[in-house]
Amino acid sequence: MPDTADAALTDATVAPSADVDPRATLGPGARVWHLAQIREHAEIGAECTIGRGVYVGPGVVMGARCKVQNGALVYEPARVEEGVFIGPAVVFTNDLLPRAVTPEGALKTAADWDVVGVVARTGASVGARAVCIAPVALGRWSMVAAGAVVTRDVPDFALVAGVPARRVGWVGRAGVPLEETGPGSWRCPRTGEEYVVAGDGLREAAG
């Protein structure tokens, strides 16, 4: 996967078949695979991997070290923070009430609808073929199961599944389901990290 001339200036690697608008920004070490399309003014962070056939809409902002798997569709104005995983064929929508035409039957233009976006917070993961219906926010280190349809905000460290998605557990930074150690307290069996209830989600225990 050789560099394009522009990508080489930022130490990014872009497949010859990828379509990266010259007004887009690729961070150092970013990799864009075959047939991906990155639209104008999109910002892709350092060390991101954009898989085969991915679509990234105009003005989408993506933090460092994200991984977007083959065939995912990330429509504007999505905001993706650092370390987010977006699985194969995932869709981030941007129109809550989609129509192709106006009530009068004219083809809709950008001025005829209100664009809304998905926000994925640091470390969030979205499983294969999940659909996130904007406007929703995926909390820090949350996990969306494969095939889920997310219609409301996901708390930090929550594991959600189903159609529509509901919380079915908690996960830690390692992605492993947490074990309850007492009222409002949880522990990761892999790392030993401890978590406590905070609002509708969890947070790392102090110390």
Mean pLDDT value of segment 147-160: 98
Q: Are 205 and 185 in contact (CB under 8 A)?
A: yes
Confidence of residue 6 (pLDDT cuts 50, 70, 90): low
Distance CA 24, CA 29 (A): 15
pLDDT of 207 above 80: no
Confidence of residue 9 (pLDDT cuts 50, 70, 90): very low
Number of domains in the chain: 1
pLDDT of 83 above 50: yes
Question: In 10 A of CB 93, how many CB atoms?
Answer: 19
DSSP code, position 139: P
Res 204: pLDDT: 93
Domain membership flag for residue 182: no
Q: Are 66 and 85 in contact (CB under 8 A)?
A: yes
Mean pLDDT value of segment 168-186: 96
3-state secondary structure of 58: coil
Domain membership flag for residue 189: no
Q: Would the pTM count as exceeding 0.85?
A: yes
Q: Which residue has the higher pLDDT, 7 or 151?
A: 151
Domain membership flag for residue 94: yes
Q: Are 62 and 44 in contact (CB under 8 A)?
A: yes
pLDDT in tens, 11-36: 899 999 999 999 999 999 999 999 99
Domain membership flag for residue 191: no
Confidence of residue 10 (pLDDT cuts 50, 70, 90): low
Distance CA 92, CA 199 (A): 26
Domain membership flag for residue 161: yes
Q: Which tokens belong to 117?
A: 């976006």
Its domain, for residue 137, covers 5-170
Q: Which residue has the higher pLDDT, 114 or 143?
A: 143
* CATH code of the domain in which 153 resides: 2.160.10.10
> Which amino acid belongs to residue 170?
W
Domain membership flag for residue 71: yes
Domain membership flag for residue 20: yes
Question: In 10 A of CB 60, how many CB atoms?
Answer: 25
Query: Strands across the sheet with 85-86, in order?
Result: 13-14, 31-32, 49-50, 67-68, 85-86, 125-126, 143-144, 158-161, 166-170
Res 113: pLDDT: 84
Domain membership flag for residue 186: no
Res 110: pLDDT: 82
pLDDT in tens, 92-133: 999 999 999 999 999 998 888 889 999 999 999 999 999 999
